[in-house]
Amino acid sequence: MSGSLPEGWSVDRLDLDRDLPGILAIDRESFVSPWGAETYEWEARHSDVARVFVLRPPEGPPVAYCAAWLVFDELHINNMAVAPAWRRRGLGAALLEQVLARTSREGARRATLEVRASNLAARGLYERFGFRTVAVRRGYYTNPVEDALILWREAENGP
C-alpha cells in the first residue's frame, strides 16, 4: 500500500506563486476539463477547508498534486494527478499516503472521492489504500460521457 518519497523529494502545501504554473500544466495534461488558475487561487486564499498538496522533486516544478477539502472529519479528494512523464513510479502512492496521514492528524476519519469508471490505474491506487466503491453517478463526466464511481475509505484512526 505505501509509497515512500524518493530521497530529497517533499510533499508541501501549495505555494501559489511557486507551484501554480506546474499544477496548471499537470491539469492540462491530465483532465479534459481542467480547473483554471482562478479556482486554485480562490481555494488557497478564501477557503478554510481547502488543502492542496504538491509533490516536489529536489529541483523544478511539482510533478504531482492533490486538491482536497477537509470538512469536519471527512477528507474529500477533488483532484489528484501525476504529470504523465512521472507516472508509474509510485509517486501517486507516495503523495496519497502523505495526504491521508497529514489530514488524519487534522482530524479526518474518512475519505471520499469520485473517479472515472474507466480510470483503472487510479482505481487500483485507491483500492490499495482501502477505498471501496459505494455508489455510481451515472453520466457524471462529460467529454466523453462516463459514470463516476464514488469511493469511500473508512478508518478507525484516520482516513
Query: Does 10-154 carry CATH code 3.60.40.10?
Result: no
pLDDT for res 143 = 87
Whether 127 is a known active-site residue: answer no
Active-site option among 40, 65, 126, 141 = 126
User: Is the pTM for the entire model greater than 0.85?
Assistant: yes
Whether 114 is a known active-site residue: answer yes
In the DSSP assignment, the letter for residue 3 is -
Question: Would you place residue 1 in the very low, low, confident or very high pLDDT band (cuts 50, 70, 90)?
Answer: very low
Active-site option among 106, 114, 140, 146 = 114
pLDDT above 70: residue 19: yes
Distances (CA, A) of 131 to 43, 110, 143: 25, 10, 26
Dihedral class, residue 21 (left if φ above 0, else alpha if ψ from -120 to 50, else beta): alpha
pLDDT mean over 32-41: 94
**Cross-strand bridge partners of residue 120:** none
With a CB cutoff of 8 Å and minimum separation 6, the contacts of 38 are none
pLDDT above 90: residue 62: yes
